[in-house]
Amino acid sequence: MNKFSNKFWIMISFVTISGFVQGMLLPLLAIILEQNGVSSTVNGLHATSLYIGVLIASPFMEQPLQRFGYKPIILTGGLLVICALALFPVSQSLWLWFLLRLIIGIGDQMLSFATQTWVTSTTKTEKRGKTIALYGLFFSLGFAIGPLMTRLLYVHEHLPFLLASLLCLVVWSMMLFVQNEQVTSDQLIITVNIAATFKRFVTATKLAWIALMGPFAYGVLEALLHGIFPIYGLRIGHPIDTISIIIPLFSITTLLTQVPLGALSDRIGRQKTLCLVTSSGIITFFLAAQFEQNIAILIMTFTAAGMLLGSLYSMGVSFMTDLLPKSLLPAGNIMCGISFSVGSITAPYLGGLFIELFPAWSFFYSIVFILSIITVLFLTQKKHASEPAK
């Protein structure tokens, strides 16, 4: 039990550092590029590179996990992140930074897939919602701390990157003392060729597409609030200090409700809970659009949005785990990552385009529109009972 507990918390440490890196890079690079005169469209497009890396890596994760086990995948992914972060101060070339973000996306996906599959495969059904919510909680904690690194720009522009690389190295070194674990027989992954792997992804998507809307929506929100809101906030007159305080609220307040919402979804069902939180999010961001110049109102709306919507990813993973047999869980976890990445890739570019094409409209209306579509899908899709995976 103690060995399980130690390994679990080391996995959670990697989840936290993964959230921290993503939470830092999106606003940090958005602010640097905005101050360097880069257009919001190019800035938003540049932010997609991290998630392109996630998308590139996703289809190739199952077979290495089956062959080598969890530890080598986690160590390799962590090393990619550490090295890429350390190379950011070398140059401010847009292409170099695009490449480094892409490498971090690949490394992050290796970390997330290995840790997430381990957690979902070994969690008891009756504790699934709470346990995966705990997983999401620590990702949110890291994501909340990340934007605070933007304040270090006043000290030195290179400091956030070097400090983040050092923190990642500390967490990475903890994994050296963990014994490797192979995929067990009841988690058997049958991946003999690319065609078979693709077929598994298609099957997982057909069975659990509605659950994938949770990670997709979270990817959209994460990218827009951390990658585009800093640009928009600067343009409507909010200082960097204020923006760096407001952004983390979305992730910090998630810590208060992640586990309770996970437990609620265990009782009333994932789909119903997801519908409730997205519909509440529509109201929250509509209010934010009306009072975007008021710092106090923005603080309250970001706080409410975090409490309501910060569990979308973990709740979507729980819902996916309910709907798929165990043999498809690794493919399902990959599809959750891909859905998150698709949301994260499309949102920054479209968000940047939105604030250029509609300068008189509030940026928050774009979020209201997206959440409205997703809420309709949850409402109209045939209800699924939260059945345990077979």
Tokens 């990697």 map to which residue? Answer: 14
CATH number of the domain residue 352 falls in? 1.20.1250.20
225 within a domain of the structure (yes/no): yes
What is the arithmetic mean of pLDDT over 343-359? 81
User: What's the rounded Cα separation, in Å, for the pair 311 and 32?
Assistant: 29
151 within a domain of the structure (yes/no): yes
Which H or E element spans position 194?
A: helix 194-223
Phi, psi (deg, nearest 5) at residue 358: -125, 65
167 within a domain of the structure (yes/no): yes
User: What's the rounded Cα separation, in Å, for the pair 50 and 105?
Assistant: 4
Q: In this structure, are residues 45 and 352 in contact, taking their beta carbons and an 8 Å threshold?
A: yes
User: What's the rounded Cα separation, in Å, for the pair 267 and 189?
Assistant: 30
Percent of the chain with pLDDT over 70: 89
Domain that residue 77 falls in: 2-175+191-380
93 within a domain of the structure (yes/no): yes
16 within a domain of the structure (yes/no): yes
Amino acid at site 44: G
Q: Among 114-123, 199-208, 225-234, 243-252, which is the least confidently predicted range?
A: 114-123
Predicted pLDDT at 368: 92
What is the arithmetic mean of pLDDT over 307-323? 86
Predicted pLDDT at 186: 46
Tokens 């400090």 map to which residue? Answer: 163
Instruction: For the chain, give the mean pLDDT.
Output: 81
Instruction: Evaluate if residue 190 carries a pLDDT over 60.
Output: no
235 within a domain of the structure (yes/no): yes
Q: Among 69-78, 155-164, 174-183, 366-375, which is the least confidently predicted range?
A: 174-183
Per-residue pLDDT tens digits for 253-293? 877 887 888 888 888 888 889 999 999 999 999 999 999 88
pLDDT category, 375, cuts 50, 70, 90?
very high
Instruction: Evaluate if residue 208 carries a pLDDT over 60.
Output: yes
305 within a domain of the structure (yes/no): yes
389 within a domain of the structure (yes/no): no
Predicted pLDDT at 10: 81
SS3 (DSSP) at 156: coil
Instruction: Evaluate if residue 326 carries a pLDDT over 90.
Output: no
> What is the total count of domains within the chain?
1
Which of 35-39, 119-123, 198-202 has the highest mean predicted lDDT (pLDDT)?
Answer: 35-39
